[in-house]
């Protein structure tokens, strides 16, 4: 059974940093791109970024709203993907979801989602 478990969310002050982790199980982690999405309270879904599988370059791509502030990485030996968030703003407050793409490429639908972790940016 595919499982994705996010961790690392919490309350953080504006301008500070936070790292989210997503631990995967139930599939061959290295074969798939991993994506991050977020959902501000009461709002819709927003793509944050993804990282391709290593055989296809392992390269990340980001939404314009987070590019230069957020960084996605992966450790295939541990089946974990990370979302490093720097220079956080109040508008980054959201539930962050980790997902598994349907293929090696992040430009794909997300077959599996974690339960989400809440990040609150506030002073």
Partner 1 sequence: EIVLTQSPGTLSLSPGERATLSCRASQSINSRYLAWYQQKPGQAPRLLIYGASSRATGIPDRFSGSGSGTDFTLTISTLEPEDFAVYYCQQYNTSPITFGQGTRLEIK
**Residues binding partner 1 (CB under 8 A):** 44-47, 61, 63-64, 97, 102, 107-111, 113-116
- Residue 97 in contact with residue 75, Cβ under 8 Å? no
* Residue 49 vs 74, nearer CB to partner 1: 49
Cβ atoms of residues 48 and 83 within 8 Å: yes
The residue among 17 and 28 lying less far from partner 1, judged by its C-beta, is: 28
Strand 117-121 with 10-12, pairing: parallel
Whole-number minimum distance, CB 16 to partner 1, in Å?
A: 25
Least separation in angstroms between residue 51's CB and partner 1 is 14
Query: What is the rounded distance in angstroms from the CA atom of residue 71 to the CA atom of residue 87?
Result: 12
CB-neighbour burial class of residue 28 (10 A; exposed 0-12, middle 13-18, buried 19+): exposed
**Alpha carbon distance 82, 77 (integer Å):** 13
Q: Write down the least CB distance from residue 65 to partner 1, Å.
A: 9
- Cβ proximity to partner 1: between 4 and 18 the closer is 4
Between 15 and 91, whose beta carbon lies closer to partner 1?
Answer: 91
CB of 102 to partner 1, least distance (A): 7
């Amino acid at each position: 059974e595919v499982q994705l478990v996010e961790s690392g969310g919490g309350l953080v002050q504006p301008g500070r940093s936070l790292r989210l982790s997503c631990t995967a199980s139930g599939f061959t982690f290295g074969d798939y791109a991993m994506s991050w999405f977020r959902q501000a309270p009461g709002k819709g879904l927003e793509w944050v970024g993804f990282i391709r599988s290593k055989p296809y370059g392992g390269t990340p791509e980001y939404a314009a709203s987070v590019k230069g502030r957020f960084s996605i990485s992966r450790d295939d030996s541990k089946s974990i993907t990370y979302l490093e968030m720097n220079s956080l703003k109040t508008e980054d407050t959201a539930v962050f979801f980790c997902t598994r793409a349907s293929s090696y490429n992040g430009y794909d639908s997300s077959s599996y989602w974690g339960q989400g972790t809440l990040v609150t940016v506030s002073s």
